[in-house]
Amino acid sequence: MRAKILDGAERLLRTGRADFSMRDLAAEAGVSFATPFNRFGSKLAIMRALSARRIDAMIDRYGKEAPGGDVPSDLPTRVALAIDIAVDTMLAEPEVNRAVMGAIGSPPAGQDGAAVRVLDHSTKLWEKAVGAPGAEASPTDPDLPQRLAFAFRGVLSFWTAGELADEALRPAAHAMAGALLSGGRGAP
Name all domains of the chain by residue range, CATH numbers in brackets. 1-41 (1.10.10), 45-181 (1.10.357)
Task: Give residue 28's identity as a one-letter amino acid code.
Answer: E
Burial 32-47 (b: 16+ CB within 10 A, else e): eeebbbebbeebbbbb
- Total-model pTM: 0.86
What is the tens place of the pLDDT at every residue in 82-98? 999 999 999 999 999 99
Q: What's the pLDDT band for 184 if we cut at 50, 70, 90? A: low
CA angle at 73 for the pair 72 and 79, rounded to the nearest 5°: 60
Contact by Cβ (8 Å): 60, 166:
no
Query: Residue 185, Cβ neighbours under 10 Å: how many?
Result: 9
Q: What's the pLDDT band for 111 if we cut at 50, 70, 90? A: low
